[in-house]
Every structure is written in C-alpha cells, then in structure tokens.
Structure 1
Amino acid sequence: MKYLVEEKYVHEFLDLDETDYMVGHDDGSQIEFLSPFRYYVNKSYGYKREKKDLHYNNIPLPEFWGVYPDGFNGMVMDKYIRKANIYFKEPIIKRYVKSVEWLEEERVYRRDVYDCFGVKYYSEYLNKDGDLTDVIYYGKDGKEVVIYQPKNEVFFLLKNGMVNQVIYSYKDFFMSFLEDLNNDGI
C-alpha cells in the first residue's frame, strides 16, 4: 500500500522512495492510499468498513431544519435562514455529500468533510477572519481521534476521548504513524 503525504509537507520527505508514497491532500475519498489521519480513523473502526456515500437527505440536522437543492449544490435551512451550504461529490446528480459549510451570520465557521464511507471524516474550524484554526478527525461513533492545529503544527492523538500523545511536526506525526503501523503488523 502507498502512503499519502500532505502536499504542503512533501519537502520534509525528500529521502522517501517515490514508489512508496503519493503527494496530495487526504479529503476522505482515497482508500487506495493511507495517510496518518486515515490510519487513526480506520483503527478506531477496527479497519473494516463498507464503502457507501452519504446522501444529502441524511445529513444529521436539528429538528425542523431541512435540506434543499440549490443549483449544483444544496443548502440547509431553518425557516428562512440559510444555516449551511452543501457541496456534492461527482457525479453531482447523485447528491452525495462531499462537505457541508456551516454558517453563522453568513460567515463559514466550520466545514465538515464526509468520506467515502458516508461519515464525517473531519471538521475544519475557522476564526472570524476565515483562517483555519483546528482540524478534528473523527473515528467510530463520531469520537475525536486526531486534533490538528495547523498554525502551530501540533497533532494531538486521542484515545477514549483523552489526549494520548502530542506531536509537534508533521514529519514526526508521519513517522509515529509508520511506527504504529509496523507495531500493528499491517
């Protein structure tokens, strides 16, 4: 299996054999490449899951909120107030959810990204200026498994809802993932 290295950190991995990895961003759609994020998410599920996408009618919502098509995308409404923008995966005609941007006073404060297994893979939290502050990856039952703070380049690995390990660079995070992978015998 090839490993997926986040594009903005590829300069830290010039010593890796290019046949062992692919450069890109883990948006939850890749199953043929393993990123550190996907590894920890999969581990929480026991590695076995069935591929299926989430239809936009099945997005978890508060009572009385609704989803509606909006051209090539969708939206979440509470009465006459737009609460979120829904973006679909290709082919958009199937209306499978790629991401949902949650709005507060017309400003995006959180972006939920759904994976190829039909569950929320991660959430990106944005400050009032639109800057990314935190990325939280979810495992089984929606439990947090990795919290990433891009500004500080800090990674928190969680186990049973508690911080188990703190890592201070992407390269160390990636190397820790490879070590855990070898210890698991995968």
Structure 2
Amino acid sequence: MLNLFDTYSRESQDLLHSLKEAGYEHPTVVLEPNGFLPDGVESPFIYFLGQPKVEKRGRFFNEVRVPDFWEITGDNTMAQVNYYGQVKAKIYYYAPSYKRIVERVEWIDNKGQIVLIERYDQYGRHIATTTCDTDGKQLVTTYFEEGLERLTENHQTGDLILTLKKQPIRIFKNRLDFYVFYLEYRRFNLDRVIYNTLATSFSVSLQLGSKGILGQDILVWQERLYDSIPGNMQLILNSQPVRTKKILIPQTDTYHRALLLTPKEQHSLFGPLGYIYEFTEKEDIRKDAFVLTNSDQIESLSYIVEQAPNVTFRVAALTEMSPILLGMVRYPNVVLYQNISQKRIEELLRVSSIYLDINHYGEVQGIVRKAFEHKQVILGFAHTVHDKRYIAKEHIFEQGQEVALVNRINEIYKSVDRYKGAVALQIEQSSAIEMNEFRTRFQEGLGDGNV
C-alpha cells in the first residue's frame, strides 16, 4: 500500500496523520519537488539527490552566498539581497517563516525581472536551479547532488533527463513517465495506491493500470462538491474496470452530497471517512479571547471590547504594533503582545477559551487550525474568517452583526456546558472521528472487514 499525494498540503497532512494514528505506516510519496518533507515522506525529485547525514537545520537567510559587499536584510516575512540600494534578489522562507529558513532565492535583473531561481532543502543544501527567459518564464530546472547534475527538467518540452552513478542516462518524455519509473525503481508495493486529488496522482493511477499493473486504489476526496460530479470522478464511476475501486470522503456533508448527485447503483463506490485530530483538553474555562494578527485592521475590535468588559482580550502580533493597535491599551480588559514569541503564543492558545478570527488580510501561522485543536471556540465575520473548515456555521457572522457576535461571546461564558456545546459544534463540522471508527471505515474502503 502507498500514499500518493500531488502536494504536501494541509489536506494531505491531515489524511496522513489520521492514517498513522489508526496504525497505517505504509510509505508516502509527494510528487511535487519539496525539499522539506518529514521523515517517511519522499519526493521523486529529491530522492535521487541522495540522503545527507547532517542536521536538518536548513539554511538561515543570511547564509545565502552573495558577492562581496552585497547586503542581505530580512524580517520574519522574507529577506532580500541589495547592492547600493538596488534589490538583486528576494529570499523566500519555508513555513513557519519566523524561523527564516530559506526555501528559494529569486535573482532579478536591473528591470526587476526574475532571471534565476535557486532552491534549498531542510539540510541547507542548494538542490536546484531554474533558469528563466527575459519574460521571467521558467526554462530549465537542474537538480544537484553535491554539485553534480542528477536530474534536468525542460519546462518548454516537458522532458526530463536522469543521470545516476554508473547507470545509463534515462530520458522521460514527461513527468508522468518519470513518476511511474520512480515508483517501480523504488519497488513500492503498488497493490493499493491511496491518493487525494483527481490531478497528477490520479493520472499516475491510470498509467499504472494501462501498464497492466493490477491494484485496487482508493481516492480520498477532500474537496467540496457543488452541482455536479467532476469529470475525472465520473470516469471512475462509469469506466470500470479501472484501478480505483472506492472513493472515501472525510467531510460528512460532502459525502451526502455525493450520494445526492449520483444514482443508487453507484453509491457503493462511495464511503464516509473522517479525520483524527490531536486535541488539547482545556484545564479550565477562562474569560480570555485571543487574536493573532499581522495588521491593525481588526474588525469591530473596539466595539467588541467595550461590549464585553468582563472578557480579557489578548491581542498579539509577531512584529511591533502600529499606533492604532497600541492605542487599545486604553481599555482595561485589553492586553497587547508585541513581537510575541512562539512560546507565548502556545501559552495563549492553552489559556484562552475563545479565538476571534476577525483580523483582515492573511492568516498568521495557521492559527485557526491551532485554536481549533486547542478547543477554543472560534468566532469571526464572513469577510474576515480564514479557514471555515474549523469554524461552526453558527459562529460566522455577516458584516455589521457585531451585536450578535458579542451576544454569542456572553452566551458561551454563561456556563461550562454552553462552552462545551459551542466546541462540539465546530468539532462536528470538522468531521472528527475516533481512531477505531476511522480504522473501521478505512478497512471497509479497502474491502477488508478484518479491523
């Protein structure tokens, strides 16, 4: 059995975590060229670059090699290379960005156009270089093992060239052929491939079938369904025999939607699943509300603070705060945290009972998911919430409904039972299930009743 993911997305990580918690320890492959995958997860692009025997410390932003007298400056978001006031390169970090570990460096010309992209991995190795044309379009990417060319991908023609020690050069006409070669080269057990998109990993499943490699694959569908079944899913439903024999759907409402959109004779191809989350239990319920932001644009914060004087609002930022936010100290029930540390963020997640997802612009460090796992009740406005998967529908308010949001805060704090009921709403929406139930559902998807 093998997990095959296009990318190491949040959805892929949730599925992998649930499988491992349920006792499934089979290998996992991520098709994207990702140099920051955890132990036990491989990328075909990175596998052929060898396995370093050094510490996984990455390359700190000021360790990027630059010519003499060029300057590197950076903050918790990104960095850049300058020479006499002119930007020569932009340095992008791998998440979490506060660690300032380099994922890629984009070198630019005097016109500000990208001409070269260097990529790094979790060992700090320079693993790949991409050349670009005068319009910034990617031409060729070369992957290195200790400075030696191992793999070259031509983005214009799509072909790849693999050069291994003491082996003949191998040429692949596209990524799909390269992926199938890699799976066979690694001698993975391909009797069951578990994949979670109808994109590249689905194409790999079809390619394995076309080569006569038998198997019973499973699609774990982690997206929403709208007015119709996607075309590639219809191919699975209507074009048997194919390798894919089952479609498991973690989200309960999406599973029921799939049954509504398909005839009864196809319902047996679908199955419910769910997720196993790592919840942190609250030791006590405190009248504390937490906000983590990168801007001073926090929807209706002053009104909420004024209307809930018995609640302490803890507002934190990774950087220094603007005068607007600093002005909130005029309220006795507001505590501000400038340049907050990761240790203090973890502390606030433990002690606060409500998380207000009301800051505009981007989400900070996946804080909504962290608040969810810490069993904070998450409240927000429809135009400010960052991740609806972890927020109960009843806790998302339209713009201008500040009164309703404050009323909900006060209601939650009336009793421990009200708080627990509010947490239960968002857990139910997330399709969280216990380990034994997950294992039972997955075994049924495999067609194996032995749990």
State the TM bucket, normalised to the shorter chain.
Answer: 0.7 to 0.9
How far off its partner does 1:143 sit? 2.0
The equivalent of 2:66 in structure 1 is 61
Q: Structure 2 residue aligned with 1:52, among 57, 61, 66?
A: 57
How far off its partner does 1:152 sit? 1.3
Would you say how many aligned residue pairs link Structure 1 and Structure 2? 167
The equivalent of 2:114 in structure 1 is 108
Residues 75 and 23 (structure 1), Cα distance of their counterparts in 2 relative to 1, 3 Å cut: same
Q: Report if aligned partners of 2:31, 2:43 keep a CA contact under 8 Å in 1.
A: no
Q: Structure 2 residue aligned with 1:27, among 31, 34, 46?
A: 34
Give the letter aligned to residue 172 of structure 1: D
| Other structure's SS at 2:135 match | coil
Give the letter aligned to residue 43 of structure 2: S
How far off its partner does 1:80 sit? 2.2
TM-score, length of structure 2 as denominator length: 0.34
Percent of aligned pairs with the same amino acid: 25
Q: Which has the higher contact order (CA 8 A, sep 6+)?
A: 1
Alignment RMSD, CA only? 2.8
Distance, in Å, in 1 between the alignment partners of 2:128 and 2:168 is 17
Distance, in Å, in 1 between the alignment partners of 2:30 and 2:95 is 21
How far off its partner does 1:41 sit? 0.7
Q: Report if aligned partners of 2:30, 2:43 keep a CA contact under 8 Å in 1.
A: no
| Other structure's SS at 1:125 match | strand
The equivalent of 1:181 in structure 2 is 186
Give the letter aligned to residue 90 of structure 1: A
TM-score, length of structure 1 as denominator length: 0.75
How far off its partner does 1:118 sit? 1.0
Q: From the two aligned structures, give the one with the greater helix fraction.
A: 2
How far off its partner does 1:163 sit? 7.9
Q: Structure 1 residue aligned with 2:145, among 133, 139, 144?
A: 139
Distance, in Å, in 2 between the alignment partners of 1:115 and 1:2 is 24
Give the letter aligned to residue 42 of structure 2: L
The equivalent of 2:422 in structure 1 is none
How far off its partner does 1:23 sit? 5.4
Structure 1's unaligned 5+ residue stretches are 8-18
| Other structure's SS at 1:41 match | coil
Q: Report if aligned partners of 2:76, 2:97 keep a CA contact under 8 Å in 1.
A: no
How far off its partner does 1:60 sit? 1.3
| Other structure's SS at 2:162 match | strand
Q: From the two aligned structures, give the one with the greater strand fraction.
A: 1
Residues 178 and 126 (structure 1), Cα distance of their counterparts in 2 relative to 1, 3 Å cut: same
The equivalent of 2:46 in structure 1 is 38
Structure 2's unaligned 5+ residue stretches are 8-25, 188-451
Residues 84 and 180 (structure 1), Cα distance of their counterparts in 2 relative to 1, 3 Å cut: same
Give the number of the structure whose alpha-carbon radius of gyration is greater: 2
Give the letter aligned to residue 36 of structure 1: P
Distance, in Å, in 1 between the alignment partners of 2:145 and 2:4 is 19
